[in-house]
Amino acid sequence: MKEIIKELESKVKNCHNTNTIFDTRNYVLLDDVKKLLEAINYTRCCTELKSKPILSFEDWYITYGYSKTVAGNFIKEGSRITRDELIHRYKTEHLKTF
């Protein structure tokens, strides 16, 4: 990228046009091209996210300590929760990270 910018700068500076409007447009264009190249080559500086396995609903509720009742509800630490409520929790807490 640095080589491209140097080449562009050289071409603009070596332009022997006496028309100052044309020269100004060349420099404006050069600045736009520099910004575009920097944006294209921009790399975020952050740590790589840990990859979590995507668990099925059944694996998820077992992993997080829920037990399925005969009636189709779920229990965790004495609290009862419906299947729909638990599916909503699964989607918002587990799947949102993927």
Give, as one character, the DSSP assignment of residue 91.
I
- Model confidence at 53, in pLDDT bands (50, 70, 90)? confident
The pTM of the full predicted model, rounded to 2 decimals, is 0.46
pLDDT (tens digit, 9 = 90+) per residue, 65-81?
A: 999 998 889 999 989 99
Task: With a cut of 80, say whether residue 3 has pLDDT above it.
Answer: no
Opening angle at CA 24, ends 22 and 29, nearest 5: 95
Give me the residue spans of the domains in the chain.
2-40, 57-97
Answer whether 40's CB lies under 8 Å from 5's CB: no
Mean of pLDDT over the chain: 75
